[in-house]
Structure 1
Amino acid sequence: MSDKTAQSVVWRFFRKSSDEKTVACLKCGKTLKFSSSTTGMINHVRTAHDKEKFELERSSSSSVNQGAMIRTASTALKTDESLILALCTSNVAFRFVKNEWFQKFCHLLNPEYQVLSPDSIKRRLSENSQKYIRDMKKELQYIDRCFITCDGWDGKYENVSLYAVFVYFIDSNYAKKKIFLGMKHAPGPATAACVGNVVTDIMREYDIDLSTVVGGICDAGSNLKAFLDRNLLYQYVRSISVKIIFQTFSLHCSAHSLALVVSSVSTKVQSVKDVLVKVNALAAHLSRSKTERQAFRSRSAALKINGPIPLPFCITRWAGCALLATAYLNHYQSISSLSRFQDFLLGQEEKELLEEYVFLMKPYIAAIAEAERDDNYCSEIVPQYASLMEFISGQNQKKAIVRFLKKETSDRFDAYLENDIALMATYADPRFAYLELLSKKSWEDVEKIVELYCDSYQVTNQSDENLSPVPPEKRQKTSDSLFSRFIESKRRASTLESTKSEIIAYESMLVTGRPTSDSDPLLFWNSNRQRFPKLALLARHVLCSPQSSAQVERLFSTCGEIVSSSRRNRLSAKTMNSLLLNSALSKLKAKVDDEEMDEARCEDQTLVNEDFLTLWKSFK
């Protein structure tokens, strides 16, 4: 008897013949034909043996229930995780799990499943958060240098001030990493000292030494910028008796900087400001009336006009005024074709001015969208501003809006050209180094900054080794003669000269062959880390930062929905942080699952390719 047939319950009532073509009932002796199917045997027991039928059904039910119990045990944890994640990513209160109909719904799906209580959910959130922190500590313990992005969120009516921190770094394999560290409530006034305490507390949870932080990117808020600008780390280097000052650089969020340029043009050029009043009036009118919005959308659909209709943007939306003006012009035909919208039409000169405004704002909107992406580099900020300067310089300088926009762009550009981290990042990106991008600056000026940073970093590392509690290895005594001092000075000079030689070789290499503009600069440095060890290390330090703090802005968009919800507005900052950490943990798990599936697909495809290739032997 095969294993498959032996597992069936019906074989308790039948015996197979020696030729395996018939089976005989053990109760009544009836012989039935058999051809691998047990359906006939089951029907015989159900029709001819009432008492035995109950035993058969009970045995079958027991087998089914046993399998269900196994499935329930194996999926209970996943079910709990899915429930917790659903609560983390929605505005539903924890007490919803006590809802009578929700519990009935869960019972219908699986009678064996026990819905978590609100207290159990909070406890599980805390456990998952601690697991996330432990996992991230392991990944962060070997970082050399990192960059942080931080920003604050103030609830207008909820009396809440929250600050969140992300950390960016490049690992030893030249892979860019981003980790959400958490969010905390800022007690009292959000001064630079208060914000500094919040940020350092969050970093301390992950055992991140503040000395590893190269800098931070924020929206130039006075408290955040003051915290970063005041954070000077002093270290006394005994070996050469000099004091090295390392500054934690603050880098203005590129998207916010560009948005300030757009906002200045929209509010300080009077002719543009007057036209935008009518544009905003239409947007306000449509936002107040659902009937008017439906009529407007219907007319735009009939005219085959695509894109969003002109509705007000959130006040925190970068370049929202320019986006609204763009939507207004796109749907101008709909406005003119509806009789009750005639008051919102523009005169000919006003319309031409608005078209000029939208045309000038288009590259700025595109630059903001590029800066908001997660996969960009801060090295792209200076080239982006250089391209905008070239664009606006090519427009008609007799127009007031063009002159004003050029001045605003130039002022913001000059601020970045005075920022050492922005210059070093541009230099460390082989796509842009030594191109004519720096306006009033020269690449020789940047080389001096790079050389100072690389040599200072080496001196500091030597100092760390000298100040280490680990006893140094025994060395042979050297005489304090003129010759020995001369040789030691030459050895130090040759070490410092190596940075200059790398800079010269780097420039020569880019002259002969430069990576394409759409390539990843980290691939270049991973391939050339042995040839340019100091510059490759610089690249790891300064290319880890993105262009903007958009990631934090997106996080606070979620926070605003949660805190403003009438059902979730009593959440503590600690519980909200747990919600966000659980969401981050789930994304990490999903990423791992996707990578494992991709690897499995690659392995399967490799096997298929190998099988395919073996069909045809190669001949020489």
Structure 2
Amino acid sequence: MNPITASTSSRTIQKPRSIVWKFYKIPIDPAEKLVTCPSCDLVLKFSGSTSGIFNHLKTRHKEEYKLLKDKLEEKELATDSTSADREFAKSFATALLPFRFAKNPEFRNFLRHKPTEYSIPGPAKIKKLIDSMANEHVSKMKADLEGIQNYTILTDGYSDLKRSYHFYSLHISFIDSTFERKLRFLTLKSIDKGDHLAISEVLNNALNEFGLRFNECSLLTSDAASPLVLLAEKQLIDRVHCGCHQLNLVITDFVKEKSVQKVQAKVQSFARYLSKNKATKEKLLSLSTKDNVKIPLPLPLSPTRWGALSILIDRYLAHYKSALDLSDLKEYLLRTNELDSVKEIGILLKPIHQGILRLERDESFVSEIIPTLIFVKKQVEKYQSAHAAKLLKCIDVRIDACLENRRLISCMLIDHRYAYVDGWNSLIDWKSVENDMNKFDLTPIPYTSVASDTEETDDTDLDSFLDCSMRPDGSVVNDLKSELIRYRAFLTTTRPTYKNPLVFWKGQCANFPKLSEIARILLASPASAACSERTFRFVPTVRNVIYNFHFSRCSDFIRQKKRNRATIGTINSVLIVNELSRSQRPVSDTEEEETDSELSETDQDTMEDDSDEDIDQ
């Protein structure tokens, strides 16, 4: 090997050319001592140093100097920007970050708010900041929730395919003294096991962390995962099966029919092909755009997405006409009878999807679950087909299960929109439901209205004697039973038209003090655990370009906790800050993230909702 010499190892470092040579003409002869100014023809001395001619340019020709300086700065800025882009791209490659991180709202906010003189913090400080933000959330929420009782727990979880990692979110809802419902995110926790003991322990500790007691919880709203069912039973609290999950299970049961499975398979194969062929996808999008189709393309959806089949069929049918013009998609075109089956199933599933969209609102009420199922049933009954008959059986199974839940029926009684309505008499025995209301009556013992001494009847005065019937009877007891009688009479004669039952009870709390307090308990929960489900809905899987595996962001972080030097406490802090940050984003950012997530929901077999585990059918 040849030794490295000075001539081969050293590089000639050229000093950047002065700005003056963008203005003056460089002398051809290096020995030349004079330079002519191109603007004023003044001959200037030049002895190897540019100080003199630079001073002339700066003082005598200010406009020319400014133009030259601006052009130079623009060029340097362009060079710096290109260099920065390259380094930014390298960070994605070395950290194996998903490319969509470039659109991360929090990262972009950081760039906007970054001071000019900013030093990037190290890993230890980043960890400390995340822990601090999580602790601030706990402290603030603990103060806000002081004294809260009879609250509802809303929870959901997911795990990886191997069930090595489990995560559970915790929200609570309650109605304050002004009859406004508050829905609060508390925490996200990772747990080692997904059984009821581990989940119960984590939720118990989380509630204690926020100053709440588990035995003061009135209701658990969740899916029908067996660990959660057993948890509620052992904890002696009522449980309501998430309304959206029930509607989704109707679809799940319906898809077990072979004829429906065939339709699902054809639509899904079309979606899978489209997701794997970018050129075809772009062509289809272009054709559909020309046809004024604004519905998203039919791309694969997560199997745990509520109403996924209904969504996929709607998108498939919306773009089917455009697909006829693409040679790549000829294999996925259908016969007339097959296309008719897809259309029929899409029509039958549409009211179910409408119900999901209604019940997943945070403003929904538990009392709306049974009416929604009845609405879906009535819509399906309009069709006389084999598919409709099979779907009706699936709906009836869910309705029967709901009618056995006394908590749900009690919620309907306390909701003025449904209580004592004749249309429900064939399904609900209101008298038996009235007896159940005693369970929720936590107000003091029955009180008696007694006339004051100043209102006593004067039997010596004729006017007083004649007006005595206008005064309250001191022997009338105002207990729950009497309130229910007056409540029924009130609704029978003058049923209000408020869409929100809390508005009704806010106005009637003086007339029905016991029932209004019961309403604060029974109407505290939304109709679904959508707030907790959303915690995991936008956690898209990320394709690892080196190993071609799929990871969820949370699971990936857990797998690398040794490399990240992250304790369980730090992991939980990261999860909390992640959810808090996303909940504080503008709606536009959330919608954009949802769209990006849908485009990457292909082959999400590594992320699995815990609701699929031992479902109580």
Give yes or no for the alignment of 1:186 onto 2:191: yes
Please name the residue that 1:138 is paired with. Answer: 143
**In structure 2, distance between residues paired with 1:537 and 1:208:** 20
Identity rate of aligned residues, in percent?
30
Label 1:196 to 1:279 Cα distance change in 2 as closer, same or farther (>3 A). same
Give runs of aligned pairs for residues 67-146 of structure 1, distance below 5 A: 110-146=115-151
Q: Give 1:281 deviation, angstroms.
A: 1.5
Matched, 1:577 2:568: no
C-alpha contact 1:151 1:224 (8 A) present in aligned 2: no
Tell whether the 8 Å contact from 2:156 to 2:223 is kept in structure 1 after alignment: yes
**Structure 2 match to 1:280:** 268
Q: Distance in 1 between matches of 2:397 and 2:160?
A: 32
- CA distance in structure 1 between the aligned counterparts of 2:335 and 2:111, rounded to whole angstroms: 62
Q: CA offset at residue 224 of structure 1?
A: 0.9
The 8 Å contact of residues 183 and 202 in structure 1, kept in 2 or not, is answered as no
SS in 1 for 2:485: helix
CA gap 1:201/1:296 in 2 versus in 1, 3 angstroms = same
| Deviating more after overlay: 269-278 vs 249-258 | 269-278
- Residues of 2 paired with 1:556 and 1:346: CA distance? 35
Q: 1:91 to 1:137 in 2, by over 3 A?
A: farther
SS in 1 for 2:479: helix
In 1, Cα distance between equivalents of 2:402 and 2:265: 33
**What is the CA–CA distance in structure 2 between the aligned matches of 1:107 and 1:199, rounded to whole Å?**
38
Aligned partner (choices 553, 565, 568) of residue 562 of structure 1: 553
Give the corresponding residue for 1:211: 215
- 8 Å contact from structure 1 (residues 278, 344) kept in 2: yes
**Would the aligned equivalents of 2:189 and 2:575 in 1 still touch at CA under 8 Å?**
no
Match of 1:501 among 465, 470, 482: 482
1:418 alignment partner in structure 2 = 404
Q: Could you say if the C-alpha distance between residues 225 and 453 of structure 1 is closer, same or farther in structure 2, counting changes exceeding 3 Å?
A: same
Residue 222 of structure 1 is matched in structure 2 by 226
Q: Find the aligned partners of 2:218 and 2:336 in 1 and give their Cα distance.
A: 53
Distance 1:110 1:273, change over 3 A: closer
**Per the alignment, in what secondary structure is the counterpart of residue 331 of structure 1?**
helix
Letter in 2 for 1:562: R
Amino acid in the other structure paired with 1:404:
K
Alpha-carbon distance change, 576 to 546 in structure 1, aligned in 2, over 3 angstroms: farther
Contact 1:417 1:438 in 2 (8 A): no
Question: What residue in structure 2 maps to residue 296 of structure 1?
Answer: 284
Does structure 1 residue 447 correspond to structure 2 residue 451? no
Q: After superposition, give the CA deviation of every residue in 1:383-404 in whole Å (9 maximum; x if it has no partner).
A: 11121222223331xx221111
| Residues in 1 aligned to 2:300 and 2:113: alpha-carbon distance in whole angstroms | 45
SS at match of 2:510: coil
**In 2, are the aligned partners of 1:107 and 1:113 still within 8 Å (CA)?**
no
One-letter amino acid of the structure 2 residue matched with residue 122 of structure 1: K
Q: Return the structure number with greater helix share.
A: 1
Aligned twin of 1:259: 248
CA change 1:297–1:164 in 2 (3 A) is: same
**1:545 to partner: Cα distance:** 0.6
Counterpart of 1:325? 313
- Counterpart AA for 2:218: V
Q: Which amino acid aligns with 1:230?
A: K
Query: Residue 168 of structure 1 aligns to which amino acid in structure 2?
Result: S
**Cα deviation digits, residues 340-366 of structure 1 (max 9, x gap):** 322212222222222111111111011
Match of 2:424 among 437, 440, 445: 437
| Change in 2 beyond 3 A, CA 1:124/1:368 | same
Q: Work out whether residues 221 and 239 of structure 2, in 8 Å CA contact, stay in contact via their aligned partners in 1.
A: yes
Aligned pairs for 1:194-209 within 5 A: 194-209=198-213
**C-alpha deviation, 1:317, in angstroms:** 0.7
Structure 2 residue aligned with 1:356? 344
Give 2:532's match in structure 1, choosing from 510, 528, 552: 552
Q: Distance in 2 between matches of 1:516 and 1:265?
A: 36
Question: Contact 1:92–1:568 at 8 Å: present in 2 too?
Answer: no
Tell me which amino acid in the other structure corresponds to 1:375. E
1:323 and 1:287 mapped to 2: Cα distance? 16
Q: Give 3-state SS (helix, strand or coil) of 1:337's partner.
A: coil
CA distance in 2, matches of 1:572, 1:559: 21
CA distance in 2, matches of 1:207, 1:179: 14
Offset of 1:114 from its aligned partner?
4.1
* 1:403 paired residue number: 389
The alpha-carbon distance between structure 1 residues 108 and 403, as it changes in their structure 2 partners (threshold 3 A), is: closer
SS in 1 for 2:490: helix
Q: In 1, Cα distance between the equivalents of 2:177 and 2:114?
A: 48
C-alpha displacement of 1:494: 8.0
Instruction: Identify which of 507, 513, 533 aligns with 2:513.
Output: 533
Query: Does residue 378 of structure 2 align to residue 390 of structure 1?
Result: yes
Give the alignment's Cα RMSD to 1 decimal.
3.1
**In structure 1, C-alpha distance between the alignment counterparts of 2:137 and 2:289, rounded to whole Å:** 48
CA displacement at 1:575 relative to structure 2: 2.5
Distance 2:222 2:113 in 1: 50
Contact 1:263–1:319 at 8 Å: present in 2 too?
Answer: no
Distance 1:540 1:107, change over 3 A: closer
CA offsets per residue over residues 286-344 of structure 1, 9 Å max, x none? 11110111111122123222211221111111121121111111112112222332221
Q: TM-score, normalised by structure 1?
A: 0.66
Q: Which runs of 5+ in 1 are unaligned?
A: 1-89, 97-101, 233-247, 463-492, 592-620
Query: Is contact 1:91-1:568 (8 Å) kept?
Result: no
Mapped contact 1:335–1:344 kept (Cα < 8 A): no
CA contact (8 A) 2:243 2:369 kept: yes
Change (3 A) 1:223 1:449: same
Provide the C-alpha distance between the structure 2 equivalents of 1:260 and 1:446, rounded to a whole number of angstroms: 27
User: What TM-score do you get using the length of structure 2 for normalisation?
Assistant: 0.66
Aligned-pair CA distance for 1:106: 7.7
> What is the CA deviation profile of residues 250-297 of structure 1, one whole-angstrom value per residue up to 9, with x for unaligned ones?
11111111011112212x222222222221211111111101111111
Q: Residues 443 and 584 of structure 1: is their aligned pair in 2 closer, same or farther, counting only changes over 3 Å?
A: same
Assess if the C-alpha contact under 8 Å between 1:163 and 1:183 holds in 2: yes
- In 2, Cα distance between equivalents of 1:312 and 1:461: 59
CA distance in 1, matches of 2:216, 2:154: 14
> Which amino acid in 2 is paired with 1:259?
N
1:483 paired residue number: none
Deviations 1:413-467 (A, max 9, x none): 11111112211111111122122236432222221211x2244x357999xxxxx
Q: Secondary structure at the match of 2:363?
A: coil
Residue type at the aligned position of 1:289 = N
The aligned amino acid for 1:154 is S
Mark the CA change 1:134 to 1:107 in structure 2 (over 3 Å): closer, same or farther: closer
